[in-house]
Amino acid sequence: MAAVRGLAPYVPGKPAAELERELGISGVAKLASNENPYGPSPRALAAMRAALEQIWLYPDGASHDLKQQLARHLGVGVAQLTVGNGSNDLLVLLAEAFLSPAHNAVFSQYGFAIYRIVTQATGARCIEVPALDRGSGMPLGHDLAAMADSIGADTRLVFVANPNNPTGTWGSPASVKRLIERAPASTLVVLDEAYVEYGRERGSQDGIAWLPEHPNLVILRTFSKAYGLAGARVGYAISHPEVAEALNRLRPAFNVNSVAQAGAVAALEDQAHMRRTVSVTLQELTRVEAALGALRLWCAPSACNFLLVHIGSQAERVYERLLRVGLIVRPVAGYGLPEYLRVSIGLPQENDRLLRELAALVK
């Protein structure tokens, strides 16, 4: 299929074990994939170990316990929920369900790379809306008004990550709400809230309150970031029941394994652990941002657990030099940001190590 042959596959952050094999070094710090360095709740780990006792059984294809727990936690109906093998799984399902070569999808210039990939895979047309410039109130952020202007009769999906990866930027709840209000009933607005637990601390939206009045709104969330379960791969969508039914018709029966389901249920039960890790991470983000500023390195505003740092024309060289000393950060040239590196907020000692190396390199 021509649409598939033309795809540029998503390239994840370099694994620490891979770098250790390549260079024969140890003690690698991975600050590339926005993982939670404090890990999941101990209760989640215990639940996952217990689930291994029955690993010879197929998982619950309906994810009954997880959906019940999510419904209670979020205050929504079970019929509004779809679970996925990470939220990426749900992005694929949304594209398969609602896009075709006759349609298009709208997303921002620096939106998450998967939006373009899932759109192209269906043969649908991509409408990429230029981001705000460096001089704006939210530099490199989404131009939400222009995104709304780009919606046409053939637009079936609008992807909005708020807060956004890879920039960390966010739009105000009022501006996001205006975009949703301007979208016609025939267009689904996919509000990607992968970083919602961090974003709420910076004033971004909690879109669930908007679902009753906007049946064309789909909210995506994940256990990979704030809950520290990136390796388990659990995401979920909250939508109108008719949208959820369409997604569940396409969803593979066993797309979330039994160990992951058990971990996610227990993680939801330990909100205190999640809130502690978010609080500590955002404190570290503020500290690291100030230290980078002292090095005269500009960072985009961030409501996430990472910073987009402007390095300049030597960004690729700095990335390679950091690899040599066992520090993995994320080059973002593939996003059209060749002069930037994305830096996840790690443990304090990892952040200090990165700051020392950057200080030496920028001199």
Residue 283, Ramachandran bin (φ over 0: left; ψ between -120 and 50: alpha; else beta): alpha
Does residue 139 lie in a domain region? yes
Does residue 6 lie in a domain region? no
Position 6 scores a pLDDT of 61
Residue 150 Cα distances to 103, 105, 142, angstroms: 13, 10, 13
- 153-172 pLDDT, tens digit each: 999 999 999 999 999 999 99
- 92-148 pLDDT, tens digit each: 999 999 999 999 999 999 999 999 999 999 999 999 999 999 999 999 999 999 999
Q: Is the dihedral of CA 123, 124, 130, 132 positive or negative?
A: negative
Q: Give the pLDDT band of residue 295 (cuts 50, 70, 90).
A: very high
Averaged pLDDT for residues 9-29:
74
> Is 90 exceeded by the pLDDT of residue 4?
no
**Which of 237, 255, 270 represents a domain boundary (last residue)?**
270
Q: Are residues 88 and 235 in the same domain?
A: yes
Q: Are residues 189 and 314 in the same domain?
A: no
Position 16 scores a pLDDT of 76
Mean pLDDT of the chain: 95
Q: Is the dihedral of CA 263, 264, 268, 272 positive or negative?
A: positive
Q: Are residues 174 and 212 in the same domain?
A: yes
Q: Are residues 329 and 238 in the same domain?
A: no
Does residue 8 lie in a domain region? no
Position 25 scores a pLDDT of 78
**Which of 225, 246, 270 represents a domain boundary (last residue)?**
270
Q: Are residues 283 and 235 in the same domain?
A: no
Q: Give the pLDDT band of residue 11 (cuts 50, 70, 90).
A: low
Position 18 scores a pLDDT of 82
Averaged pLDDT for residues 6-26:
70
pTM, to two decimals? 0.94
> Is 80 exceeded by the pLDDT of residue 208?
yes
Q: Are residues 205 and 310 in the same domain?
A: no
**What phi and psi values does residue 191 have, to the nearest 5 degrees?**
-95, 105
Q: Is the dihedral of CA 310, 303, 326, 338 positive or negative?
A: negative
Does residue 292 lie in a domain region? yes
CATH number of the domain where residue 20 is located: 3.90.1150.10
Non-local (6+) Cβ contacts of 68 within 8 A are: 78
Choose among 354, 324, 329, 331: nearest CA to 22. Answer: 324
> Is 70 exceeded by the pLDDT of residue 2?
no
| Domain extent for 308 | 13-34+272-362
Q: Are residues 237 and 306 in the same domain?
A: no
Q: Are residues 343 and 293 in the same domain?
A: yes
CATH number of the domain where residue 237 is located: 3.40.640.10
Q: Are residues 67 and 112 in the same domain?
A: yes
Per the CB < 8 A criterion, the answer to whether 156 and 164 are in contact is no
- 227-286 pLDDT, tens digit each: 999 999 999 999 999 999 999 999 999 999 999 999 999 999 999 999 999 999 999 999
**What phi and psi values does residue 309 have, to the nearest 5 degrees?**
-110, 130
Report strand pairing: 217-222 vs 29-30. Answer: unpaired
Domain count, the chain: 2
Tell me what percent of the residues of the chain surpass a pLDDT of 90. Answer: 91
**Tokens for 16?**
């620490």
Q: Are residues 225 and 249 in the same domain?
A: yes
Does residue 242 lie in a domain region? yes
Q: Are residues 107 and 207 in the same domain?
A: yes
Choose among 192, 13, 12: nearest CA to 90. Answer: 192
